[in-house]
Amino acid sequence: MNTDIGLSARLERISTDGRYLIVPMDHGITLGPVTGLVDIESTIDGITRGGADAVLTHKGTAPRVHPNKNGKGYIVHVNGSTVIGPDENDKRLTGTVEDALRVGADAVSFHINVGSNYEPDQMTQLADLCSRAADFGVPVLAMSYARGPGIDEQDPEALAHAVRLAEEVGADVVKTAYSGDADSFGRVVEATRLPVVIAGGSRGTDRETVEMVRGTMDAGAAGVSMGRSIFQHENPEAITRAVSAVIHDDADADTALERAGLGIEA
């Protein structure tokens, strides 16, 4: 049976017209119950009302996601590590494609640290995940970071290598870090035919967040998988609305902040 139809139907559930505003909340494993994740139900309700296309969590949180996601997409993340463990870069498997489907996911995601000591194992696991997901027509979001000893995590050449690796092993969408400006990030986007989305990193000001998203879209990327800048915000719905204005309506930073009721001077 041709699973392409399943793949494209599921990609549409986690995006809008090929643009992605994903809010990952897998950080409960990485960081613990930080701001925004304790009452994850109200965060999910706010960000999906604000214009998120999809939310992303580990499989165990699925029962808290479905009643609050307002019909938006759902991605299950399948590896993790903690900041208090022996090595944060050593992400270990936490689930399978079958687990994700069992809890009602539209897609799966997997984190690889390209350049770390764990890259070889993570690359094999990602390639296997892509093969398994393809059997079911399930999209794979590869969170492909440049991380490891001596690696500059914002170096456009390293990021270009990371996103290209994701395409080569069969992912459908790739997330990586932002290089810091639209010109250099354009080289990252050009390195692959996959839709590229950025991670937000640790929370900045509202203006920094929205300008980073503007630069990302100007570089030709497809959107964001932005966690802490959104779920740690005192008003997750408003900051999602601002980010959505840039991604889905091509707004500039001032317009996006105004439309969301956030101060433009921030």
Ligand X SMILES: CC(=O)[C@@H](O)[C@H](O)C[C@H](N)C(=O)O
Ligand Y SMILES: O=CC(=O)COP(=O)(O)O
- What single DSSP character describes residue 232? T
Residue 200 binding target from ligand X, ligand Y, none, CB below 5 to 8 Å by type:
ligand Y
Q: Which of 91, 92, 54 is nearest to 76 (CA)?
A: 54
Query: Catalytic: 145?
Result: yes
Q: How far apart are the first and last CA of the chain?
A: 53
CA distances (Å), origin 55, targets 92, 158, 161, 209, 246: 21, 27, 26, 18, 18
Would you state the structure tokens that stand for residue 244, as one six-digit string? 């959505």
Q: How far apart are CA 192 and CA 177, in angstroms?
A: 15
Query: Catalytic: 69?
Result: no
| Number of other CB atoms surrounding residue 92 within 10 Å | 12
Active-site choice (69, 74, 175, 206): 175
Residue 175 binding target from ligand Y, ligand X, none, CB below 5 to 8 Å by type:
ligand Y
Residue 94 binding target from ligand X, ligand Y, none, CB below 5 to 8 Å by type:
none
203 is known to lie in a ligand binding site: no
Decide: 212 and 204 in contact? Cβ < 8 Å. Answer: yes
Q: How far apart are CA 186 and CA 46, in angstroms?
A: 31
> Please, which residue, 171 or 199, has the CB nearer to ligand Y?
199
Residue 225 binding target from ligand Y, ligand X, none, CB below 5 to 8 Å by type:
ligand Y
Q: How far apart are CA 102 and CA 105, in angstroms?
A: 8
SS3 230: helix
Residue from 69, 175, 207, 214 in contact with ligand Y (CB under 6 A): 175
Query: Catalytic: 72?
Result: no
146 is known to lie in a ligand binding site: yes
Decide: 108 and 138 in contact? Cβ < 8 Å. Answer: yes
Q: Is 225 near ligand Y (CB under 6 A)? A: yes
147 is known to lie in a ligand binding site: yes
Look at the chain and count its residues. Answer: 266
- What single DSSP character describes residue 252? -
Q: Is 246 near ligand Y (CB under 6 A)? A: no
> Please, which residue, 31 or 101, has the CB nearer to ligand X?
31
Q: Is 201 near ligand Y (CB under 6 A)? A: yes
Active-site choice (26, 106, 155, 172): 26
> Please, which residue, 181 or 258, has the CB nearer to ligand Y?
181
> Please, which residue, 177 or 257, has the CB nearer to ligand X?
177
- How far apart are CB 221 and ligand X at their closest, in Å? 17
* Residues in the annotated binding site: 26-30, 145-147, 200-201, 227-228
> Which are the catalytic amino acids?
26, 145, 175
Which residues here bind ligand Y, judged by CB under 6 A? Answer: 24, 26, 143, 175, 199-201, 225-229
